Amino acid sequence: MEIFIDSADVAEIRDVAAMGVIDGVTTNPTLVARTGRSLREVIVEICEIVDGPISAEVISTDYEGIVREGRQLAALHRNVVVKVPLIAEGLKAVRTLASEGIRTNVTLCFSAPQALLAAKAGATYISPFIGRIDDAAGDGMALVEQIVGIYRNYGLRTKVLAASIRHPVHVVQAARLGAHAATVPHKVIHQLLSHPLTDVGLARFLEDARRSPGGGRG
Ligand code: E4P
């Protein structure tokens, strides 16, 4: 499973990249706005940190605008994946960008038929927003299951990227369902690697080591 960090904060990205657990990065206009920096500047710096798919989102909503922005973003670095909203104009743009060899991440997916059409249009990734569906009393993981099943039935090559992840269980469930990727906030990546018994066990080992001759070293 590919694990991406869902962040535009380069300090967060450097932190998890140093652990070697990150395959790529997703950003969105909200995450970029929080940095106070321009999209271009942030994306170029992220591309220097992580050698993998880096999603950068367009803000146009018309076909020409999405294609123009998509080409500009893709020209920033070979690893840029253009993030396109799941609207009719977006799918037209995905088709054009795909024909030019530009990878896309179709975002704001909330239903299986939306995901089916995005795959038909040639999306590289589809991003179902799990947490936001759960927030609205839906079942985000059921959507992941439906999309994975539909893509499998027809050999569709679009990758399912579980997005809007809120906690570690979302990541485990997405992995068990066969999602190709999950994009995970920095805090949740740290939650994924933490376990209270690891901390208790380590504290005990260090305590015992201090009592050994030589302090447990060598
Ligand atoms: C996906 O690519 C989005 O950036 C993100 O996962 C949205 O998550 P949120 O619902 O926590 O804003």
Q: Which one-letter amino acid corresponds to residue 98?
A: A
Letter string b/e over residues 174-209, b meaning 16 or more CB atoms within 10 A of that residue's CB: beebebbbbbbbbebbeebeeeeeeeeeeeeeeeee
What is the predicted pLDDT for the residue at 170? 98
Which of the four pLDDT bands, split at 50, 70 and 90, describes residue 213?
confident
Return d(Cα 182, Cα 25) in angstroms, integer.
Answer: 10
pLDDT single digits (tens) 66-121: 999 999 999 999 999 999 999 999 999 999 999 999 999 999 999 999 999 999 99
User: Could you tell me if 210 and 203 are in contact, meaning their C-beta atoms sit under 8 angstroms apart?
Assistant: no
pLDDT single digits (tens) 148-197: 999 999 999 999 999 999 999 999 999 999 999 999 999 999 999 999 99
What is the predicted pLDDT for the residue at 161? 98
User: Could you tell me if 52 and 19 are in contact, meaning their C-beta atoms sit under 8 angstroms apart?
Assistant: no
159 catalytic per annotation? no
pLDDT single digits (tens) 34-66: 999 999 999 999 999 999 999 999 999 999 999
Residue with the smallest CA separation from ligand 1 atom 5 is 164
Record the tokens describing residue 25, joined without a space. 């990065």
Going from the Cα of 77 to the center of ligand 1, the distance in angstroms, rounded, reads: 22
- pTM, entire model: 0.95
Return d(Cα 106, Cα 64) in angstroms, integer.
Answer: 17
CB 151 near ligand 1, within 6 Å: no
CB 107 near ligand 1, within 6 Å: yes
CB 102 near ligand 1, within 6 Å: no
What is the predicted pLDDT for the residue at 214? 83
Residue 159 φ then ψ, to 5°: -90, 140
CB atoms within 10 A of CB 158: 23
What is the predicted pLDDT for the residue at 83? 98
Record the tokens describing residue 146, joined without a space. 């439906």
